[in-house]
Amino acid sequence: MTIRDSATRPADKSLERIRKLFAKAESVAGTPEAEVLLERAYHLLAKYGVDEALARSAPDGGASEVTVLDHVVSGRYQPDQVALVAALAGALHCRAVVAPATDGRRVVHVVGVRRHVERVAMLAGALSGVMLAAAARQRPAPGVSAVTHRKSFMAGFAFEVGRRLESAEQTAVRESADAAGAGLVLRSDAQRAAAALRERFPHTAPGRRRRVADTGLAEGRRAGSAVDLGQRRFAGGRRQLGA
């Protein structure tokens, strides 16, 4: 996983605090303490983004650069992993396209304001493995394919994670000192991400909405509600995500 366009800067103290909360929650997963830790992490994650937005809305605030994260997806269930990264990107004011790598892997290019892209990078790295491990533990009902059930589970997981992140962002905006200003800047961030995606990946086209069975959707959404946060072909082989 790499972030292009400039050198990686030292981790922000807020990000370090969020990472520690996620790590601690994972160590006590399935307990009431984990739920408290995760909610605190979600709140800080949203606040981290909105606080920067407020700073950039000030008269002397400079606009953050737009950059590209290259997130490599490998192994089994690659489309499902891609869908998770796309859900994270969409919830955090970014856009994403996917391209196959020469060695059979996929590369998801996440385009957006650096602060948001860094949050996508952190969550994608943490949640992909969690989702795959949880899906592998699923036991479908008799007569239902294990692969079908697991893919359905992962669709529900990605949907719920994206929904939670969007909700956390909206709550942070409402609770900020300048809700109107924060909301305007975040909308601008999303628009800048969309414009940069069109400029950097001009041959993208909307991908077809993926169809999955509903056998594991509810289980996936339940897992996504508790986890720590953290086709159409065209030239170049990329599909636009979140369209």
| Separation between Cα atoms, residue 113 and residue 95, nearest integer Å | 10
Predicted confidence band at 164 (pLDDT cuts at 50, 70, 90)? very high
pLDDT tens-place string over residues 178-195: 777 778 888 888 999 999
Side-chain half-sphere CA neighbours of 3 within 13 A:
20
| Separation between Cα atoms, residue 79 and residue 242, nearest integer Å | 13
Q: Where are the beta strands (DSSP E) in 119-218?
A: none
| Separation between Cα atoms, residue 26 and residue 32, nearest integer Å | 12
Contacts of 53 (CB under 8 A, 6+ apart): 181, 182, 185, 186, 189
CA–CA distances in Å: residue 4 to residues 49, 89, 125, 139, 195:
20, 16, 17, 40, 17
Q: What is the pLDDT of residue 195?
A: 92
Q: What is the pLDDT of residue 9?
A: 46
pLDDT cut 70: percent of the chain above it? 74
Predicted confidence band at 82 (pLDDT cuts at 50, 70, 90)? very high
pLDDT tens-place string over residues 94-128: 999 988 777 888 899 999 998 888 889 888 888 88
Domain boundaries, the chain: 2-127+169-205+228-241
